[in-house]
Amino acid sequence: MSFRRCVDAEIIAPSTRFYDPSVPYDEDLAERLRVALTTEPDVTERKMFGGVALLVRGHMAVVASHAGGLMVRTDPADQAELVRTTSAEPMEMNGRPMKGWLVMDAAAVHDDDELDAWVQRALAYNRTLPQKH
């Protein structure tokens, strides 16, 4: 599988999380996300949110954030339960909650099984959306 790399205008979400500002995003996490999506068709990669977004079927699914953590798009109906039962937090941009988007520190997905669980949640929601071109 090959990834098409595109550069879009960067949108940087404010964050209070610790990260190394000399690295724009967690390169290890980005690579782990690429590996987790290797069997998925129609994956593209774009620089977004000051990090690297992986899009599936034209929709953002997961992001290695500029803040050193993971952003994941899940079913908005599951958001409250996931926040209650995991270390994920609702994502906010410019003070507004982003429906269905969750953020977590990289430490929350240090284990490949945990990362894969989040990728699978993102893919499950992604498959409910119409394909973009």
4-7 and 43-48: which strand pairing? parallel
Tell me how far apart the alpha carbons of residues 133 and 86 are, in angstroms, rounded to a whole number. Answer: 33
Dump pLDDT digits (tens) for 17-43. 334 455 578 889 999 999 999 999 999
Dump pLDDT digits (tens) for 98-120. 999 999 998 999 999 999 999 99
Fold designation for 4-126: Yope Regulator; Chain: A, (3.30.1460)
- 82 to 4, 78, 100, 104, 119: CA distances (angstroms): 31, 6, 10, 11, 14
Lowest mean pLDDT among 7-16, 82-91, 100-109: 7-16
Q: What is the pTM of this model?
A: 0.80
